[in-house]
Chains A and B, each alone.
Chain A
Amino acid sequence: MNTLNNLLDHRGSIEKRLMKLTGRVIWVVQLNLSSFSCGCTGITIFFAGLEKEDVEVFASRIVEILNEVTASVRLDPDIIYASLVPGSSEVGSISLKRLCDECRKDYGGDVRPWSNISILYKKAC
């Protein structure tokens, strides 16, 4: 129950700190605890107003901010990545995931598995 109560705080905190970081309005539309049929678990955060350039320039600061959230829900993510709206520079969401075995292979190589993602953090294997 504490985790659920804290989700609003986390959503608001991420939004506010990204506004501070970028100096403009960023909207965290949703912050979801997620589980996937493949076996991955994590947090998915949906944005409006966040750009690819923001996540590239501020990658380490954004990871720092997000790690505070993951600590509170006891998620030790294997990967943190931004998904771009296909063909655009707009960040649709940022995912923090504990990977299943199959996805670990997909994300484990040297090359981004998909062209519309930008990896902010990957745990050393």
Chain B
Amino acid sequence: MKLCAPLPGHLDATKKILKEEASNLHEVFMAGSSDYIPTGRQALGESFSETIEETTRLVHEDNLRMDVVMNASCMGGRHLTDEGLHRYMSYLEILARAGVDAVTLADPYLIEVASRNFSFDVIVSCISFVDSPEKAIFYEELGADGITVDTSINRDFHVLEAIRDAVSCDIRVLVNEGCLYKCPFRYFDFNVVSHTSGPPPVPKISFNYYQRKCRSLRVKKPWLLMKANWVRPEDLKAYEEIGIDTFKISGRNQPVNWVIETIKTYKSRDFSGNLIDLLDYSRSMKHLFYIPNKKLDGAIDRWKSCDRNCHRCGFCKDLTAQIMKVYLERGTDREMLVSLTELNEGVPDEYPE
């Protein structure tokens, strides 16, 4: 197993993660500078060139690989202007001088430019939505050294096997992003984040419709959490059996201690808690829902043969009703967990009127 883990970006965090988890890792990744190229996740701080250089030095001391992520889905066409291309090439040169081992990109043009002009590995981001052997071949021919597949095929073993068979480059699975299966907001939200995380002009958005709607959909239809694109630590072996052994942990905006615990969990392939606590995107929902991870043993066998026609199946919905629980009065002396079935029958411990 080759585990890739996020670095929040500041050197203190890097040192702590490396000190505790270097022996469990193959590669670490952090966001590039938003002054140059935006990324697919909202940046929390500035990854200055000096920080990336120093981080790379520390990472190499532990014999790990360093990947810089610049996976915006939209650059507003800047990369296709002379000035923009010059700017991006300059930044890629800075990264090359810093000694990074890989750069993760989403845009096909930048992938081609980077692979033709630099010796570091070029990794295709999950935001390139590689969900078929054809797309995988396209990117490999463009020069990609690795492909992080579209998370919507994380449980589609038929397609994963076909992609593995079609290309010889490294195939990566993002195991804990936690986004909706076939998320209808995905392209649009990544486009928004690309602009709000990048160089000026930065739109001052009043609210993020996509993230709000995603959250309320999960509250209204909790089985969407079950169908989301996560992979349990216990189920990594199913991927290794089809020749995929590089696993990427999502979470560069999460706290350092969580990153460390999540690395340990995936390395140990064993987790007894609330599965939602492992997820990057929907982690805050662990205060509302409880999914007992151990009760998901064996579900992967069904998902491996799933035909993705949820409207005819109902397996995930039934499983949700059986095992998922809801917190009532979380954080108080009266905190309790009730099943969704109990909730549908009426909230227990009713208040006196």
Contact = CB atoms under 8 A, between A and B. Distances in A.
Interface of A: 8-9, 11-13, 15-17, 19-20, 23-27, 29, 48-49, 85-86, 88, 90, 92
Interface residues of B, number: 29
Interface of B: 206-207, 209, 212-213, 215-216, 218-220, 222, 284-285, 288, 326, 328-332, 334-335, 340, 343-344, 346-347, 350-351
A92 B222 contact: no
Q: Is the interface of A mostly helix, strand, loop or mixed?
A: mixed
Nearest to B331: A8
Contact of B219 (A9, A20, A26): A26
B219 A85 contact: no
B264 to A, nearest CB: 29
B334 A23 contact: no
A25 B288 contact: yes
A92 B215 CA distance: 11
**Residue of B212, B326, B343, B347 with most partner-chain A CB within 10 A:** B347
A13 B329 contact: yes
A88 B206 contact: no
A85 B326 contact: no
Contacts, number: 70
A25 B351 CA distance: 17
B213 A88 contact: yes
A15 B332 CA distance: 12
Contacts of B207: 85-86, 92
B220 A49 contact: yes
Given A19-B343, A85-B212, A12 B219 contact: no
Given A23-B346, A49-B219, A86-B207, 6 more contacts: A8-B332, A24-B343, A25-B220, A29-B284, A48-B215, A92-B212
A29 B212 CA distance: 11
Contacts of A20: 346-347, 350-351
Given A20-B350, A49-B220, A85-B207, A25 B213 contact: no
B346 A12 contact: no
Contacts of B209: 85, 88
Contact of A90 (B213, B218, B350): B213
